Structure 1
Amino acid sequence: MKEPHIDYAEVFRALPGMVALLTPDLVYADANDDFLRLAGRTREQLLGRYIFDVFPENPNEPAAAGMRETEASMLRTVATGERDTMALLRYDIEDPERPGHWQEHYWSPVNAPVLGPDGKVALIVHRVEEVTELIRARGGPGGGDDRARVLEAELYTRARELQEVNERLRTAHAHEREVALALQAAMLPSPCPTGPHNAAVRYRPAIGALHVCGDWYDLVALPGEGLAVAVGDVVGHGLAAACAMGQLRSALSGATRVAHGPAQALEALDLYARSVEGAEATTVVTTFIDWDSHTITYSCAGHPPPALVHPDGTVTFLDGATDPPLAARPTHVSRPQARIPFVDDAALVLYTDGLIERRTEGIDTGLARLAHSLARHRKHDPETLADALLADLLPPSGNTDDTALIVLRL
C-alpha cells in the first residue's frame, strides 16, 4: 500500500481549536485557521509580530494579569523545555473593527516546546481553548441568567485564587532557593593548593527554584603529596538535598584522609549514608592521584565516569570500576577500584550529570559531546577549559539540573 503524502502545513492550518507557533522571543511564526478566526486577526496582522503588541492588556481592567501570566508561562517553557499548562484566565481582546472597545474573553492555554536539532527550544506551540461562552452560560440571545453569572464570577474568582497561590508558592520557592544556594556556597570548599598542578572548579545552579543544591565537589591533599578529587550528586533538590550533601561531602573528605584507596573511602561513605536522611541513591566518584607513579586510582558509585583527556586529544572515560549508588544495596559489600596511567600535561575532568544528560537523548550522546569539547579545548589552562566546557555543553537558557565541575591539569 502506497503511503499517502501528508502536507503538514495544511494539517496545521486545519487543526481544530486555536493553535499558534511562536519563536522563543515570543514572535508569531504561524497560526492555524481557528486561531485567526476566533482571535479576530488576519495572518498578516500576526506573523512576525511580538505577541503582546498584537494582544496588549486591557487598560480598563487594573487587575488584569493575562498578559503577565501568559508571558511567564511561555518563558518557563523556553527555559525548561517542558510543557506549561496555565490556569483558566481572563484576557480581553480589543475589537479590530472598533479601536478602544474591548471584548471579554476567557481562555485555557497550554504552551509546549518544539526542540531543534541542538536540543534547544526552537518554537512554542501555543494552544488555547476559548471558553468564554461556557463561562458566560447565557440563557438566550441578549438574555441573562443570574445563576450563570454567579457561576461565572465564582469560576473566575477561584481561578484568580489559584493563580495567587501559585505566585506565593513561586515566591516561597525562590526564597528557599536563595537559602539553599547560600548553604551550598558555605559548604563547598575553595580549591586546595595543588602544587604545580592547576585546578579549576565550577558550580552552576539549575534554573528552577527547587532544582538546586544536590551536587558537590572536593579536593583533598593525601599523604605523600598525592591528591584526591571527588564529585557527588544527592537525589532530590532544595534545602534537604543541600543538608544531605554537606554531611556526605564532609564524611567522604574525612574518610579519604585515612583510607588506603578510593574504594575503601566509598565503602566507609556507603556505611555512613545508610544513617543520613535523603542520602540513599546518592552517586559519587572519587579519584586518588599519585604524582610519583603517574597513575589515577578511582572508584565510582553510580556516577558518570571521569574523563581523562590526553595531550594528543584522545579521551578515556574512567568506567572500569563502576558500582551502584550509595546505600542502594540491601547489605554492605566491598567496592571495586581501578588504576590508569597518565602522562604530563593530560587533564582530568570530573563532573555531575547536569553537564551531559538531556531528557531527549541517551547518555552516550552527552559523553560524546563532552569528549569532542575536551579534545577541542584540551590545550587551555584549567580555568579557560572549565569555562569552555560549560559554554559548549550547558543550554544558553540555563539547565534544569545543577552542575558541578572540576578540571585538573596533570
Structure 2
Amino acid sequence: MTDYAKVFRALPGMVALLTPDLLYVDANDDFLRLSGRTREQLVGHHVFDVFPDNPQDPAATGAQNLAASLRRVLESGERDSLAPQRYDVESPERPGEWDVRYWSAVNAPVLGPDGRVELLVHRVEEITELIRSRGEAAGDGRTRVLEAELYTRARELQEVNERLRAAHAREREVALALQEAMLPAPGPIGPHRAAVRYRPAAGTLNVCGDWYDLVALGGGDRIGVAVGDVVGHGLAAAGVMGQLRSALSAASRVTKGPAQALDVLDLYARSVEGAENSTAVETWIDYERGVVTYSSAGHPPPALRHPDGSVEFLDRATDPPLGARPAHIRRPQAETAFGTGAALVLYTDGLVERRDEDIDAGLARLAETLRRHGEAGPEALADALLFEMLPVGGATDDTALIVVGL
C-alpha cells in the first residue's frame, strides 16, 4: 500500500497543505528546508503569523497578494497562480532581520464529497538566486530594476485577474438570465400536476447546461416530460441548451414514441456545435393506460415512486449520449406501469453526483428521500428533494428537476 505521507514529504519543490482557515496542516521537506522553518513552527499556525509582510518595507505586498490568491481559490474552487514577486522572510537565526526573497506560487483546492474546499495545496517556487544572478550579471543597480519589474508585473497580473473575474461574473449573470428566459415555469398540463426547479451551481461558471421540457401529446390523455444536460457551461451551453430543448419539444409532438424523438434529436445534435455528448431522457406518460414509456441518451435514470412506497429507476432503455456514436443507430425504448398516486421524478446529475463518490450512493439517497416524502404533492416533494439532496453550500453543478404527479 502506498505511503502517501512519505510521498508528499519527498515531493520536489516547496509544497504545503493549508486548512480553509489558512492554518498549516503539513509541509514537505523542501518547504521546511528552503523556508528555514521546522514542522513544529508551521503545523497548526496561521500562514501569515509564520510569514508576515516585512514591517521594514512599507511597500511590501507579498502577504496581501498571497491572501487574495488563497481567497480566490476558496471562493471559486479553482486553481490560482501568483506572478513572481518579492516576499521577504524573517531570518530564523537572526530575529528582526529580514532576508530578501522572491517567490512564485500556485494554490490549488482539494474538494470534499460535498464539492467544498477541504484543503489548499500551496506550492511555492523560490527564484531569489535567479533574480540576484540576473542583477549581478547586469551590473550594480540592476537588481532594483528587476524588483521594480517584478512588482509591476505582479500588479498587472492582479489587475488582469480582477478583470477576468468581473467578466466571468457578468457572463454567469447573463447566462442565468438567458436560462431563466428559456426555461419558464410551465403552466398546468390539463388536470395534471407538475413541479419544476432549477438551481445554478454554487460559486462557479458550471451553469446553464441543464434544461427541462413538458408538452401535451395528442391521441389521448398523454404528456411528454424530458430533461437534458449540455456539456460545457456559460453562454455557449445556454445557447446549445435552448436549441436542443426546442428540437426535442418539436420532435415529441410528431414522433411515435420517446425513442424516435431522441433519434431525431440525435441527428439534429450532430449539426449543432457543442451539442455532441449532451445527455437527455424523454418520458411519455399515458394516464389512460397507466404506463410510462421512456428512452435515455446517457442520462441518469428517472425515478418512479409507486403508491406502495417502492422506488423504481427507469434504466432499461439507456443508450450513449447524443452524437456519441460514429454512425446513427436507433435508440431503445421501454415502458413500465404505474398506479394512481405515484410520482415520476426526472433530474440532472447535479442532484445525485458528488466528487469522490459513486453515483449509486446518490441514487440510493434519492430513493430513500422519495420513500420518506413520496406521498407529498409535486411542489412539496420537489422542495424536499432539493433540501435533502443538495449540499449545504450548494452543488458544484447546476440542477434541473421535474416532479410529476401520476
Q: For the residues of structure 1 that align with 2:265 and 2:332, how far apart are their CA atoms? A: 14
In the alignment, which residue of structure 1 is the partner of 2:242?
Answer: 246
* Inter-CA distance 288–58: structure 2 relative to 1 (3 Å threshold): farther
Q: For the residues of structure 1 that align with 2:135 and 2:217, how far apart are their CA atoms? A: 82
When structure 1 is superposed on structure 2, of 295-304 and 377-386 the one drifting more is 377-386
Q: For the residues of structure 2 that align with 1:292 and 1:65, how far apart are their CA atoms? A: 70
In the alignment, which residue of structure 1 is the partner of 2:149?
Answer: 154
Q: For the residues of structure 1 that align with 2:105 and 2:325, how far apart are their CA atoms? A: 45
In the alignment, which residue of structure 1 is the partner of 2:310?
Answer: 314
Contact 1:176 1:209 (C-alpha < 8 Å) held by counterparts: no
In the alignment, which residue of structure 2 is the partner of 1:106?
Answer: 102
- Tell me the C-alpha RMSD between the 2 structures: 3.7
Q: Which amino acid aligns with 1:190?
A: A
Which of the residues 11, 20, 34 maps onto 2:16?
Answer: 20
Q: In the alignment, does 2:330 pair up with 1:343?
A: no
Structure 1: 5+ residue runs without aligned partners?
Answer: none
When structure 1 is superposed on structure 2, of 337-346 and 257-266 the one drifting more is 257-266
Q: For the residues of structure 1 that align with 2:102 and 2:349, how far apart are their CA atoms? A: 42
Contact 2:88 2:101 (C-alpha < 8 Å) held by counterparts: yes
Q: Which amino acid aligns with 2:276?
A: E
Contact 1:385 1:407 (C-alpha < 8 Å) held by counterparts: yes
Q: How does 1:1-400 map to 2 (within 5 A)?
A: 8=5, 18-31=14-27, 35=31, 48=44, 50-52=46-48, 55=51, 61=58, 64=61, 66-73=63-70, 75-76=72-73, 79-80=76-77, 83-92=79-88, 104-114=100-110, 121-137=117-133, 145-194=140-189, 197-207=192-202, 209-223=204-218, 224-400=220-396
TM-score, normalised relative to structure 2: 0.81
Contact 1:285 1:298 (C-alpha < 8 Å) held by counterparts: yes
Deviation, 1:19, is 4.0
**SS at structure 1 position matched to 2:293:** strand
Contact 2:48 2:63 (C-alpha < 8 Å) held by counterparts: no
Contact 1:84 1:111 (C-alpha < 8 Å) held by counterparts: yes
Count of paired positions: 402
TM-score, normalised relative to structure 1: 0.81
Deviation, 1:84, is 4.3
Q: For the residues of structure 2 that align with 1:302 and 1:7, how far apart are their CA atoms? A: 36
Deviations 1:149-186 (A, max 9, x none): 44444344334433433332222222211111111111
Contact 1:66 1:90 (C-alpha < 8 Å) held by counterparts: no
* Inter-CA distance 227–68: structure 2 relative to 1 (3 Å threshold): farther
**SS at structure 1 position matched to 2:268:** helix
* Inter-CA distance 147–93: structure 2 relative to 1 (3 Å threshold): closer
Q: For the residues of structure 1 that align with 2:189 and 2:174, how far apart are their CA atoms? A: 31
Q: For the residues of structure 2 that align with 1:89 and 1:374, how far apart are their CA atoms? A: 55
Contact 1:77 1:83 (C-alpha < 8 Å) held by counterparts: no
* Inter-CA distance 349–7: structure 2 relative to 1 (3 Å threshold): closer
**SS at structure 1 position matched to 2:322:** coil
Deviation, 1:326, is 2.5
Deviations 1:222-271 (A, max 9, x none): 33332211111122222122112112212222222233321222223233
Q: Which amino acid aligns with 1:67?
A: Q
**SS at structure 2 position matched to 1:278:** coil
When structure 1 is superposed on structure 2, of 27-36 and 313-322 the one drifting more is 27-36
Structure 2: 5+ residue runs without aligned partners?
Answer: none
* Inter-CA distance 154–309: structure 2 relative to 1 (3 Å threshold): same
Deviations 1:201-237 (A, max 9, x none): 2222234654221111111123333221111112222
**SS at structure 1 position matched to 2:353:** coil
Q: Which amino acid aligns with 1:303?
A: H
Q: For the residues of structure 2 that align with 1:318 and 1:272, how far apart are their CA atoms? A: 25
Contact 1:83 1:113 (C-alpha < 8 Å) held by counterparts: yes
Q: For the residues of structure 2 that align with 1:401 and 1:203, how far apart are their CA atoms? A: 11
* Inter-CA distance 26–234: structure 2 relative to 1 (3 Å threshold): same
In the alignment, which residue of structure 2 is the partner of 1:408?
Answer: 404
Give identity over the alignment, percent.
Answer: 69
Q: For the residues of structure 2 that align with 1:14 and 1:280, how far apart are their CA atoms? A: 43
